Chains A and B, each alone.
Chain A
Amino acid sequence: GQNIDQPTEMTATEGAIVQINCTYQTSGFNGLFWYQQHAGEAPTFLSYNVLDGLEEKGRFSSFLSRSKGYSYLLLKELQMKDSASYLCAVRDTNYKLSFGAGTTVTVRA
């Protein structure tokens, strides 16, 4: 099985940067995903990492270190619309995708 940990809540100011960490333990690693979920809505895909390093996509970047079982999602130039829950998910070698409990990010003006 998989054990995925991420902080419960984070607060930041509009225009700032926030880094959401995710640590995981898995019997076989086959990719890490980040999803965004606004309150009352379905999760939507943000990023995917399977090799070590940084993947950048506009204001959002995701980093992976497989040896450390660690990932982070970096949100830059925060906007009010970035207030949401961010879900870290790990896929194992049996292709099962398991999610962390999510980090609620609140952006303040």
Chain B
Amino acid sequence: DVKVTQSSRYLVKRTGEKVFLECVQDMDHENMFWYRQDPGLGLRLIYFSYDVKMKEKGDIPEGYSVSREKKERFSLILESASTNQTSMYLCASSPGQISGANVLTFGAGSRLTVL
């Protein structure tokens, strides 16, 4: 019954490494999101996408990029990982028109540690 799948639950990387976080949804949702969650700061939006090959910056896009080549897959890329990117990363998706009770379905999260 898993609907939003994040490829890695835990990752440990070194400073300067390129990191890929993959997210796949099987609900045919148009919209996909990447958030990071830190204690005391809550969920902060990094990037989102309303359609294939389309992306929009969220509140904290610096140091990140994204790729959406297929409708079901939304990848978050850390070009050169830094220790301040140690965090829990949550992917989410939602259907169609972003209005009304357009509910996000979240993945289980990827906990990234950068040493």
Give A contacts to B, CB under 8 Å.
1, 4, 8, 30-31, 33, 35, 41-45, 48, 50, 87, 89, 91, 95-102
Contacts and interface: CB of A to CB of B under 8 A. Distances in A.
A13 B75 CA distance: 42
Contacts, number: 50
A37 to B, nearest CB: 9
A97 B104 contact: yes
B54 interface: no
Contact of B107 (A42, A95, A96, A100): A42
A95 B59 contact: no
A102 B40 CA distance: 8
Given A45-B103, A96-B58, A102 B42 contact: yes
Contacts of A97: 33, 45, 104
Interface residues of B, number: 23
- Of A33, A50, A98, the most chain B CB neighbours within 10 A belong to A98
Given A101-B40, A101-B41, A43 B106 contact: yes
Nearest to A102: B42
A41 B108 CA distance: 6
Interface of B: 4, 33, 35, 40-45, 48, 58-59, 90, 98-101, 103-104, 106-109
Interface of B is mostly: loop
A48 B33 CA distance: 19
Contact of B42 (A48, A95, A99): A99
Going nearest first, the 4 A-B pairs with the smallest beta carbon separation are A42-B106, A101-B42, A95-B98, A99-B43
A49 B88 CA distance: 28
Given A31-B101, A101-B42, 10 more contacts: A4-B42, A30-B99, A41-B108, A42-B108, A48-B101, A48-B103, A87-B43, A89-B43, A99-B43, A100-B42
A1 B44 CA distance: 12
B45 A96 contact: yes
Contact of A42 (B48, B58, B109): B109
15 contacts: A4-B42, A8-B40, A30-B99, A31-B100, A33-B103, A35-B104, A42-B4, A42-B107, A43-B43, A44-B106, A95-B99, A96-B48, A96-B59, A97-B33, A101-B41
